[in-house]
Amino acid sequence: MTADRLLFILKLLSALGCGLTAGVFFAFSSFVMKALGRIPPAQGIASMQSINVAVINPSFFGVFFGAAVICLYLAVRSVLKWGQPGASLLLAACLLYLVGTILVTIAFNVPLNDALAGVKPESAEGARLWATYLTRWTAWNHVRALAALAAAALFTIELCQRTPR
């Protein structure tokens, strides 16, 4: 396999990984969190606690962190090959995903999930936390969804510009 072919495959995998991640986050922002907010707090908390355990699996982590690993490689490569066409688009795509999706997840969504995991769903403390959790978690999830979608778009644009016709 040539270096150009491998680079194309890595860019394509990044575009797909970012797009899949954006889709997951879009679903949560557009209807999952709204549905959880419509049911009694104890049920919403228990459901989200279950989701937060179930999401820790090879298929989600493979896409979510696999795209991040490829983005790290492509970001370094784009800086080292800065003069080449498409380097700025690649770097922007990578940074959008790494900062807007991975970093936001680690800095904001995971701590909120950890706090939610520490409450009993039926407790008054749980109900108070749930009221703020829904708003804060969803706001940061919007950021993650938009960042992943924008990254997917930039990867796609770069691929279209670099693909021979």
What tens digit of pLDDT does each residue of 39-90 get?
Answer: 999 999 999 999 999 999 999 999 999 999 999 999 999 999 999 999 999 9
pLDDT, tens only, 119-132: 999 999 999 999 99
Tokens 């959880």 correspond to what residue? 36
Decide if 135 contacts 19 (C-beta within 8 A).
Answer: no
Per-residue confidence at 35, pLDDT binned at 50, 70, 90?
A: very high
Per-residue confidence at 28, pLDDT binned at 50, 70, 90?
A: very high
The reported pLDDT for the residue numbered 164 is: 57
Query: Cα Rg for the chain, rounded, in angstroms?
Result: 18
Length of the chain measured in residues: 165
pTM score:
0.95
pLDDT, tens only, 133-148: 999 999 999 999 999 9
Q: Using the 8-state DSSP alphabet, how is residue 26 labeled? A: H
The domain spans of the chain are 3-162
Short-list 139, 62, 59, 69, CA closest to 97: 69
Q: Kindly report the backbone phi and psi dihedral angles of residue 81, in degrees, each rounded to the nearest multiple of 5, phi listed first.
A: -110, 35
